[in-house]
Chains A and B, each alone.
Chain A
Amino acid sequence: GESVGLHLPTLSVQEGDNSIINCAYSNSASDYFIWYKQESGKGPQFIIDIRSNMDKRQGQRVTVLLNKTVKHLSLQIAATQPGDSAVYFCAENHPYGGATNKLIFGTGTLLAVQP
């Protein structure tokens, strides 16, 4: 079946290091991908997105890379800070005939930043 999954359920990094969170997707028809950050007790918060016609997009301290050949998505966080500690979800959009924009979420990766 279709799925979005994460390679690493937990990632522990030292403050100041770069973090890389990976995600695999299985639907080659997906045309849009998003990374969300969810802090404890809060709803997911948008970080960055990328469309399938791109392979890289940069934001503030974050970069998303898309490799459509191997259906792989990654989120890179530069100079990781304690405030980055959260669960990170990748999500893909399944274009159901253009009638529905439905995001399918992965199970999440917990990023723990050590001081």
Chain B
Amino acid sequence: DVKVTQSSRYLVKRTGEKVFLECVQDMDHENMFWYRQDPGLGLRLIYFSYDVKMKEKGDIPEGYSVSREKKERFSLILESASTNQTSMYLCASTSAGQETQYFGPGTRLLVL
């Protein structure tokens, strides 16, 4: 079974803090994705990576950055957290050319 794990289920941070969200997958997938999920807006793509050291902006990259130093790990960084980044963050992975994405359980982030 494919397993995608996210470092935290819940996080509470203060405005201006630097926040790291970690995602690890155990299936040697090339492609990894970060989404945020908000009611009524669905899943919006923040960043994705097709391979190690590669990154591409998604639809809403502003205020975020990513790091992919190892194939199995994809980190999402909020350089200076703001209240409008309060959301559910979902990581997903898939093999190159594969059509099914495998999602982690999500991290619910609250920025005060």
Query: Are both chains from one complex?
Result: no
